[in-house]
Amino acid sequence: MFFKDSEIKLDRVDDNTLRKTLAYGDGLMNTLCIFEHGLAPDTTIPFHHHIHVQTTYVLKGSFKFAIKYADHTDIQEVHVGDSIYFPSDHEHGCIPLEDDSRLLDSFTPIREDFL
């Protein structure tokens, strides 16, 4: 299946985040997340979790990411070309550190809530 950029809707997630749901099917989904403005590095990272396994690839800019585990929270700064794996149901989150930072997220199973 083909997903043409000109036909893909750009959704506003919050006051700083836009998302495009890219190709998806048979249990796999890609999304593009665009963060309009960078935030101060000491900004509190908002956490969330979901049943989906997720990988993230940094396309542009830099981010401060955190993943909570039973015994610790791993916090790291990532840059263009870096990638991250998020196990199912682990709390995680990020803040963008530069304007117009972009992530390519992949999920399995697909995020029905994004459709």
Report the CATH number that the domain containing residue 33 is assigned in CATH: 2.60.120.10
Please give the model's pTM, rounded to 2 decimal places.
0.94
H/E stretch holding 103 reads: strand 101-108
Q: Which domain holds residue 81?
A: 10-114
Whose CA is closest to 33, among 112, 110, 111, 106?
Answer: 106
Residues 47-97 have pLDDT tens digits of 999 999 999 999 999 999 999 999 999 999 999 999 999 999 999 999 999
Residues 11-48 have pLDDT tens digits of 999 999 999 999 999 999 999 999 999 999 999 999 99
Q: Answer whether residue 1 is part of any domain.
A: no
Both tokens assigned to 71: 């015994």
